[in-house]
Amino acid sequence: MNTIHRLVTAVSLASLVPFAHGGEVEVLHWWTSGGEKRAADTLQRLVEEQGHTWKDFAVAGGGGEAAMTVLKTRAVSGNAPAAAQIKGPDIQEWGELGLLTDLNDVAEEAKWDELLPKQVSAAMKYDGDYVAVPVNVHRVNWLWINPDVFEKAGAKPPQSLDEFFTAADKLKAAGFMPLAHGGQPWQDGTVFEDLALAILGPEDFRKAFVDLDRDVLTGEKMVEAFAALKKLRGYVDNNAAGRDWNSATAMVMNGKAGMQIMGDWAKSEWSAANKIAGDDYQCLPFPGTQGSFAYNIDSLAMFKLSKDEDRQAQKDLARTVLEPEFQQFFNQNKGSIPVRLDQDMTEFDVCAQQSMEDFKSAAQGAGLVPSLAHGMAASSYVQGAVFDVVTNFFNDPSADPKKAAQQLAAAIQAVQ
């Protein structure tokens, strides 16, 4: 074959391939654990099937702090990715910078306004325009337990905070690690948030972490929440510092530890190991928070792009995220529930089914609260201030709960 012939053959072959002019989407996220990666791969596959190129921009680090730092650097140098996992009130901050593009045509065509719960669609819009697409709904207030370990220790799955500490004592006495925890600020913050929700209840939780009400932040219940955190510290091993959340999940899975306090992305690890919900492991609403649902919605915000084909790839990505096929496969692997309320849940496991039921009933009453530790309740500055106080408290055995509550209010005030 001479060169001309080869060229002609290549051109005619290309014309047979659908979407030969696919674009590229670079997607920033922090879904890097085994289970999370399986979920992210679903999106990559669906985008690639549409003829586009997926450029993975994964920045390891649970909770996403490292990813956000990298994103800021990239955005400042005028080189933002097509899509980035940006959540909650932070979407508004990025919108204000004028860097996000609008997805209104995709949203109108696919009727996002009708598909999504009102609070969710409002959070995805900046100045009335859709600039982000929601991926899922995670629940933060969960306790994960290994039933075999519980049985061996003669412990009972806890329904209240008192029962939680009783179970922890039993596990400890039987030689197990009661609580698998990773000492990282966002994990300390996640545990503290669950304790605060149990002790303050959803209304005061909202007053504290959404309204940033000084009286509630320094009140008796907040002091009690810090005291509970201090007590809980006694059931965490000495090697917790720096441990990743998925390593902690593995410790519960392999029978070393009895429990983990974590949002339901922890389920992604259990699913990836082919463990069965309700059988090999149990998910319990965090003791004392039954009826409440601390939500954490993952979402992809879209940046302005210059090339038409990349814009098209970006739109196809956004549309795909809210389609039922993606919602099912992704969420089954990610541990979350679909963000579409009309999704058929029959193929989901018992934890996801319970989560969906609890989400809907919490939404009807006062029980639905935004997670502070996962960027839903307040800005990343407030979140960072809370993490600092909580982590310092957690790592200082002599710290005083009353002082910590005062410090909490002061730290929040300082960043407002």
State the minimum distance, in angstroms, from the CB of residue 28 to ligand BGC. 13
Binding mask 238-277 for ligand BGC (x = CB under 6 A): ---------------------------x------------
CB of 62 to ligand BGC, least distance (A): 4
The nearest distance, CB 237 to ligand BGC, in angstroms, is 21
Residues between 52 and 71 with contacts to ligand BGC, criterion CB under 6 A: 62-64
Cα separation of 152 and 38, whole Å?
33
Provide, rounded to whole angstroms, the least separation between the CB of residue 44 and ligand BGC: 16
Task: Using CB positions, name the residue nearest to ligand BGC.
Answer: 265
Interface residue with ligand BGC among 25, 26, 30, 230 (CB under 6 A) is: 30
Judged by CB under 6 A, does residue 42 bind ligand BGC?
A: no
**Residue 148 structure tokens:** 């075999």
Q: Which residue has the tokens 């593995």?
A: 250
Q: Which is nearer to ligand BGC, 182 or 287 (CB)?
A: 182
Q: Which of 380, 412, 362 is closest to 216 using CA atoms?
A: 412
CB nearer to ligand BGC: give 137 or 168: 137
Main-chain dihedrals φ then ψ at residue 404, nearest 5 degrees: -60, -40
Q: Which two tokens stand for residue 45?
A: 């596959």
Gap between the Cα atoms of 99 and 304, Å rounded: 6
Based on CB atoms, which residue is closest to ligand BGC, 223 or 301?
301
The residue within the footprint of ligand BGC, chosen from 218, 260, 296, 383 (CB under 6 A), is 296
Q: Give the total of residues touching ligand BGC (CB under 6 A).
A: 10
User: What would the x/- binding string for ligand BGC be over residues 102 to 141, using CB under 6 A?
Assistant: ------------------------------------x---
Find the radius of gyration of the CA atoms of the chain: 23
**Consecutive H or E run containing 382:** helix 380-394
Tell me, what DSSP letter sits at residue 286?
P
The strand pair at 24-29 and 83-85 is best described as parallel
What is the rounded distance in angstroms from the CA atom of residue 261 to the CA atom of residue 257?
12
Residue selected from 36, 90, 204, 358 as contacting ligand BGC according to rule CB under 6 A = 36
In whole angstroms, how close is the CB of 271 to ligand BGC at the nearest point?
13
Phi, psi of 85 (to 5 degrees): -75, 100
| Binding test (CB under 6 A) with ligand BGC, winner from 26, 193, 269, 298 | 298
Give percent helix, percent strand, percent coil of the chain, each to the nearest 5.
50, 15, 35
| Min dist. Cβ of residue 112 to ligand BGC (A) | 20
Closest distance of CB 270 from ligand BGC, Å: 13
Residue pair 82/28 in contact (Cβ under 8 Å)? The answer is no
Burial letters 126-144, b for 16+ CB under 10 A, else e: beeebbbbbbbbbbbbbbb
CA-based nearest residue to 328, from 316, 309, 343: 343
Q: Does 374 participate in binding ligand BGC (rule CB under 6 A)?
A: yes
* Nearest distance in Å: CB 342, ligand BGC: 22
Select 36 or 193, whichever has its Cβ closest to ligand BGC.
36
* Amino acid sitting at position 215: D
Report the nearest approach of ligand BGC to the CB of residue 32 (Å): 8
Binding mask 165-194 for ligand BGC (x = CB under 6 A): ------------------------------
Q: Are 184 and 218 in contact (CB under 8 A)?
A: no
Torsion of CA 144, 149, 155, 160, to 10 degrees: -10
Q: What SS3 class is residue 128?
A: coil
Which ranges constitute the DSSP H helices of 176-217? 185-209, 214-217
Residue placing its CB nearer to ligand BGC in the complex, 138 or 206: 138
**Interaction site with ligand BGC (CB under 6 A):** 30, 36, 62-64, 138, 265, 296, 298, 374
